[in-house]
């Protein structure tokens, strides 16, 4: 060894220190701990491999092959809707829908061309579908076209292997079995939008779901919708399902049993014919809505099947406004039906009693103005008490009562009878109407109330605006002995797991400030309106049933010149026809209101519609009148495309020509 090697050896020996015999056990423990850690790590690794390859090998093999296992949302079946006699009104019908899973589509342009050739899908349809699905997971199926017909299904089945990523799904669409009779009450569905989806519970709603857009479908959407399910499925390379690995079933929505009677809905539709307006019928004892019909109506199924832009424009721009729910959102001067309010206020405030007499010469003067009675052409009604005033609808009598009361006391009783405020019916778009008083006019116009305006208000003209539903509630107060009922539409809810229907709680009932004695006097007058000579509503009589009612004719515009005959007046300027009633008078079961826009007179035009509804209620469906609808349209003289003005009569409107 050379000198360099000896030096290197000495340096190496100098680095190695001798091991103290006392440290050997400590070293052994360290080595043992290290070996144990290595062994534990090996055991965990082997266990994990066994878990992945043996215990769950098949499952994870599927997952590793291009995400072949997917979770598929299962939308719930929407709850059904029945009328009070368990007749089906809203059902779910199977329909075939073409969907695509984006991650399974290798070439969108090629797929679009093939689909266009097979079933006529346009590039724009595909582009719109992809835009709507933007932001969704790529494995989420997106809807390309709904309601496929048999020929389209056959073509898709024949060429399915040329359509990677595309499949046909069975969905359920809403079907309305009494569409035009129940359209406004039940409403319709529409696809949920992104803004609504942000606010909706994530566990209930997904993009592509249908939600209520109007009516009960909207107000009871959460009850009808149900809860989603989920399936874990194995799919092949082009997205076709091979088998179901697990399944959590959906929970269907609850069914609704309504208070509506389909027979009464049909009777209202037949009675209205081609006229414009609304019919409402209530159970005066509990507020259940027995009938609620608005005319003209529409077919909700057109929304379900899909509506083109042109179709939507035609429907939404129709001058007759068929989408408007006139029963709750149409507002009209109540006309002489308001004399129920003036009678109640006059009696309760001590302004009149049953024997108070006023003389009607056909007109009344106040300042420089003359206010006419509808009977002014025949010299008026002569001496009039309350009974005669109600029976013959004397305007002069109520001018005098209103003048003594003042507008503020009239407003107090009108509101107590449910006018001028929303009823609480569980439907969207209800109007409150308007009951004016002196404070309202000061706030609205900055002007004091004029005494002449009170005369117009006292006979249901002027600024008064009411809905048909409010008028039904008003007359129900007389029918039930002074109680204001809250209208309800759902009688019971049926759970998806079966069992007895769960009744809905009744609506609130409040007492009005009118005594039984005074209500009886008004009741007797309303019975006379229909059943005594000179009554204004003899056409409301029903065989074997005593009907009580009140007619009304409300001016749409004030005509300063001598009023023309009805057929000579343009349709949009004609008076509204109104009628309210209840029966049987001895123990009322049903209260009805009818409003016909520009319909003429309450006794001759609105009362027969109520008569058909009442006769149907007590005696079952009535025979259809021959060509009644065509005759009504011809008699109305309504030109095509002619809309309504919706303007109240001027406050100074003079007497109306007959009820």
- pLDDT single digits (tens) 337-361: 999 999 999 999 999 999 999 999 9
How would you classify the pairing of strands 509-511 and 483-485? antiparallel
pLDDT in tens, 97-131: 999 989 889 999 999 999 999 999 999 989 988 98
Q: Which residues are catalytic?
A: 336
Nearest alpha carbon to residue 326 among 177, 431, 465: 431
pLDDT in tens, 398-417: 999 999 999 999 999 999 99
Return all residues near 103 (Cβ < 8 A) that are at least 6 apart.
67, 138, 139, 165, 239
Nearest alpha carbon to residue 552 among 348, 395, 433: 395
The whole-angstrom separation of Cα 85 and Cα 290 is 11
pLDDT score of 467: 99
**Do 59 and 69 meet the contact criterion of CB atoms below 8 Å apart?**
yes
pLDDT in tens, 441-488: 999 999 999 999 999 999 999 999 999 999 999 999 999 999 999 999
pLDDT score of 200: 85
513: confidence class by pLDDT, cuts 50, 70, 90: very high
The answer to whether the bond into 324 is cis (omega within 30° of 0) is no
Q: Which of 60-64, 188-192, 373-377, 609-613 has the highest mean pLDDT?
A: 609-613
Between 407-416 and 451-458, two packed helices, what is the crossing angle to 10 degrees?
30
**Ramachandran area for residue 115 (φ above 0: left; ψ -120 to 50: alpha; else beta):** alpha
> What does the chain come to in residues?
659
pLDDT score of 232: 85
Alpha helices in 321-450 (DSSP H): 326-329, 339-348, 386-392, 395-405, 407-416, 438-445
Task: Please tell me the CATH code under which domain 72-257 is placed.
Answer: 3.90.1310.10
pLDDT score of 308: 76
Residue 516: φ, ψ to 5°: -60, -40
Rg of the chain taking only CA atoms, in angstroms = 38
Section 4-11 average pLDDT? 48
**Do 81 and 244 meet the contact criterion of CB atoms below 8 Å apart?**
no
The whole-angstrom separation of Cα 306 and Cα 304 is 5
Nearest alpha carbon to residue 72 among 108, 52, 92, 99: 99
Helix (H, G, I), strand (E, B) or coil at 316: helix
Q: For the CA atoms of 380, 381, 382, 387, what is the dihedral angle to 10 degrees?
A: -160
pLDDT score of 498: 82
Query: Which one-letter DSSP state was computed for residue 434?
Result: B
- Please check the confidence at residue 319 and state whether its pLDDT lies above 50: yes
309: confidence class by pLDDT, cuts 50, 70, 90: confident
Distance spanning both ends of the chain, measured CA to CA: 140
The whole-angstrom separation of Cα 300 and Cα 623 is 27
pLDDT score of 600: 86
Task: Measure Cα distances from 477 to 340, 341, 472, 588, 595 in Å.
Answer: 10, 11, 9, 11, 19
Section 274-296 average pLDDT? 98
Between 468-479 and 339-348, two packed helices, what is the crossing angle to 10 degrees?
40
Between 407-416 and 438-445, two packed helices, what is the crossing angle to 10 degrees?
100
Section 9-33 average pLDDT? 61
DSSP 3-34: HHHHHHHHHHHHHPPPPPGGGHHHHHHHHHHH
pLDDT score of 291: 99
pLDDT score of 560: 45
* Least reliable range by pLDDT among 156-160, 303-307, 543-547, 550-554: 303-307
- Of all residues in the chain, the percent with pLDDT exceeding 90 is 64
Residues 597, 602, 607, 613, CA torsion sign: positive
pLDDT in tens, 218-273: 999 999 999 888 888 887 766 677 788 888 888 999 999 999 999 999 999 999 99
Return all residues near 340 (Cβ < 8 A) that are at least 6 apart.
417, 474, 475, 478, 522, 526, 550, 580
Helix (H, G, I), strand (E, B) or coil at 68: coil
22: confidence class by pLDDT, cuts 50, 70, 90: low
Return all residues near 600 (Cβ < 8 A) that are at least 6 apart.
553, 566, 574, 575, 577
* Least reliable range by pLDDT among 50-59, 117-126, 160-169, 311-320: 50-59
Q: Where are the beta strands (DSSP E) in 446-583?
A: 483-485, 490-494, 502-503, 509-511, 548-554, 576-583
How buried is residue 60: exposed, middle or buried, by Cβ count under 10 Å (0-12/13-18/19+)?
Answer: middle
Task: Measure Cα distances from 437 to 203, 419, 430, 655 in Å.
Answer: 50, 13, 22, 21
pLDDT score of 11: 47
pLDDT score of 57: 59
The whole-angstrom separation of Cα 320 and Cα 351 is 43
- Please check the confidence at residue 421 and state whether its pLDDT lies above 60: yes
Task: Measure Cα distances from 82 to 216, 234, 281, 393 in Å.
Answer: 12, 39, 18, 41
The full set of domain ranges for the chain reads 72-257, 262-297+325-494+501-636
- Please check the confidence at residue 32 and state whether its pLDDT lies above 90: no
Average pLDDT, the chain: 87
Q: Which of 13-22, 243-252, 432-441 has the highest mean pLDDT?
A: 432-441
Fold annotation for 262-297+325-494+501-636: Beta-lactamase (3.40.710)
Query: What residues form DSSP beta bridges with 358?
Result: 384
């Amino acid at each position: 060894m050379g000198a360099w090697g000896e030096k290197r050896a000495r340096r190496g020996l100098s680095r190695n220190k001798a091991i103290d015999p006392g440290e050997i056990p400590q070293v052994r423990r360290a080595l043992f701990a290290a070996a144990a850690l290595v062994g534990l790590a090996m055991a965990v690794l082997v266990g994990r491999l066994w878990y992945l390859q043996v215990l769950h090998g098949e499952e994870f093999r599927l997952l590793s092959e291009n995400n072949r296992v997917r979770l598929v949302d299962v939308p719930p079946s929407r709850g059904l809707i029945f009328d009070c006699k368990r007749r089906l009104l809203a059902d779910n019908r199977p329909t075939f829908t073409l969907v695509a899973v984006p991650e399974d589509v290798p070439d969108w342009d090629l797929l679009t061309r093939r689909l266009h050739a097979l079933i006529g899908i346009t590039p724009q349809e595909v582009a719109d579908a992809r835009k709507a699905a933007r932001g969704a997971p790529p494995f989420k199926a997106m809807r390309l076209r709904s309601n496929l017909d048999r020929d389209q299904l056959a073509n898709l089945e024949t060429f399915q292997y040329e359509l990677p990523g595309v499949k046909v799904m069975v969905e359920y669409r809403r079907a309305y079995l009494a569409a035009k009779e129940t359209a406004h009450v039940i409403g319709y569905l529409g696809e949920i939008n992104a803004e609504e989806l942000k606010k909706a519970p994530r566990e209930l709603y997904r993009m592509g779901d249908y939600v209520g857009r109007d009516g009960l479908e909207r107000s009871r959407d959460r009850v009808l919708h149900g809860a989603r399910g989920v399936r874990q499925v194995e799919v092949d390379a082009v997205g076709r399902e091979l088998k179901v690995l697990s399944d959590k079933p959906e929970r269907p929505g609850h069914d609704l049993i309504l208070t509506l009677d389909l027979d009464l809905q049909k009777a209202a539709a037949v009675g209205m014919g081609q006229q414009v307006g609304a019919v409402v019928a209530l159970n005066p004892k509990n507020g259940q809505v027995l009938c609620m019909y608005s005319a003209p109506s529409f077919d909700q199924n057109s929304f379900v099947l899909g509506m083109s832009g042109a179709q939507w424009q035609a429907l939404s721009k129709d001058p007759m406004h068929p989408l408007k729910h006139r029963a709750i959102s149409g507002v009209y001067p109540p006309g002489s039906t308001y004399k129920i309010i003036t009678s109640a206020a006059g009696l309760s405030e001590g302004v009149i009693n049953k024997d108070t007499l006023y003389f009607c010469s056909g007109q009344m003067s106040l300042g420089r103005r003359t206010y006419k009675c509808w009977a002014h052409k025949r010299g008026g009604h002569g001496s009039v008490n309350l009974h005669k005033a109600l029976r013959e609808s004397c305007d002069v009598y109520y001018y005098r009562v209103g003048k003594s009361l003042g507008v503020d006391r009239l407003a107090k009783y009108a509101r107590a009878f449910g006018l001028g405020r929303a009823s609480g019916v569980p439907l969207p778009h209800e109007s409150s109407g308007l009951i004016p008083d002196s404070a309202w006019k000061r706030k609205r116009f900055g002007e004091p109330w004029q005494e002449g305006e009170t005369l117009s208000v006292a006979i249901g003209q002027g600024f008064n605006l009411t809905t048909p539903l409010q008028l039904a509630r008003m007359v129900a107060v007389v029918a039930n002995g002074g109680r204001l009922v809250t209208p309800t539409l759902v009688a019971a809810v049926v759970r998806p797991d079966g069992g007895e229907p769960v009744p809905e709680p009744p609506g609130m009932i409040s007492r009005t400030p009118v005594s039984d004695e005074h209500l009886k006097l008004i009741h007797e007058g309303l019975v006379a309106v229909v059943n005594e000579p000179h009554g204004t509503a003899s056409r409301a009589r029903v065989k074997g049933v005593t009907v009580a009612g009140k007619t009304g004719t409300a001016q749409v515009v004030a005509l300063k010149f001598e009023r023309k005959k009805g057929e000579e007046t343009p349709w949009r300027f004609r008076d509204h026809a109104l009628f309210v009633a209840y029966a049987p008078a001895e123990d009322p079961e049903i209260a009805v209101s009818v409003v016909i826009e520009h319909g003429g007179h309450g006794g001759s035009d609105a009362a027969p519609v109520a008569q058909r509804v009442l006769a149907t209620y007590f005696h079952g469906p009535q025979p259809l009148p021959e060509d009644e609808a065509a005759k009504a349209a011809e008699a109305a003289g309504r030109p095509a495309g002619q809309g309504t003005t919706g303007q109240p009569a001027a406050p100074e409107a003079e007497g109306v020509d007959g009820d």
